[in-house]
Structure 1
Amino acid sequence: MTDKFTKEIVRMRKIEGQARGIAKMMEDDRYCIDILQQFSAMEAALRSTKMKILEIHTNHCVEEALTSGSKADQKEKIAELVNLFGKMGK
């Protein structure tokens, strides 16, 4: 496990538990609104974790490319971000 992702890996394990909890709620035929509220909580946790990973990427990979002086690396990292934001917007 890399140090830069330690907290996010822990968070993903919690989200994994949330998903199992939602499945159990469905198996137990729990009230739909309660299930949907748990989905909202899990989605919020995923969004938060996703944004943290984006921050890590920007502060490590993108920054490294920008300071490297390599135009090819810089263009590649910028293209990756543009592509990612395009997918996130859908």
Structure 2
Amino acid sequence: MGREEALQYLKTAKGQVEAVIKMVEDGKYCIDISKQILASISLLKKANVKILNAHLGSCVKNAINSKDTEDIDTKLKELGEIIEYLSKVI
């Protein structure tokens, strides 16, 4: 379910970004443009959360159930890298 929701967020964000581009091209008010950019960012963040939750519920869960320690370590390392990156950008 998470991927489908993420896809919807991404498609909506795509439409917003296309609208923002048109706003810039048309010389619209900067604050209005900024608000639309922030709305697009919010949608991308929501999509990312859905994707990460789907990853936990599928890839990470499958690795744990397989008891493949190398695969588990890889998945944990990947999640750690994402958490580290998020701590820098939030």
Deviation at 1:86, TM superposition (A): 1.3
Q: Which residue of 2 aligns with 1:80?
A: 78
Structure 1 length as normaliser, TM-score? 0.89
Equivalent residue of 1:50, what SS?
helix
How many angstroms apart in 2 are the aligned matches of 1:4 and 1:54? Answer: 9
Aligned-pair CA distance for 1:4: 5.9
SS at match of 2:27: coil
**4+ aligned runs moved over 6 Å, structure 1:** none
Aligned counterparts of 1:26 and 1:53: Cα–Cα separation in 2: 30
Count of residues in correspondence between the two structures = 88
- Please state whether the residue corresponding to 1:30 is helix, strand or coil: coil
Q: Identify the residue that residue 29 of structure 1 maps to in structure 2.
A: 27
Q: Does 1:55 align with 2:53?
A: yes
**Residue 89 (structure 1) aligned with residue 87 (structure 2):** yes
CA separation in 2, counterparts of 1:84 and 1:10?
Answer: 22
Q: Is the CA contact (8 Å cut-off) linking 2:20 and 2:37 kept in structure 1?
A: yes
Letter in 2 for 1:78: L
Matched to 2:81, the amino acid is: N
| Deviates most, 66-75 or 52-61 | 66-75
Unaligned runs of 5+ in 1: none
Identity of aligned residues (%): 31
Give TM-score scaled by structure 2 length.
Answer: 0.89
Deviation string, structure 1 residues 20-56 (Cα, Å, up to 9, x no partner): 1001001111111101110111111110110010000
Residue in structure 2 matched with residue 18 of structure 1 by the alignment: 16
Asked if the contact 2:5/2:50 (under 8 Å) is kept, the reply is no
Kindly provide the amino acid, as one letter, of the partner of residue 47 in structure 1. Answer: K
Per-residue displacement from partner, 1:58-84 (whole Å, max 9, x unpaired)?
000001111111111111100010011
Q: Which structure's relative contact order is higher, taking Cα pairs within 8 Å and 6+ residues apart?
A: 2
Say what the alpha-carbon RMSD is for the aligned residues.
1.4
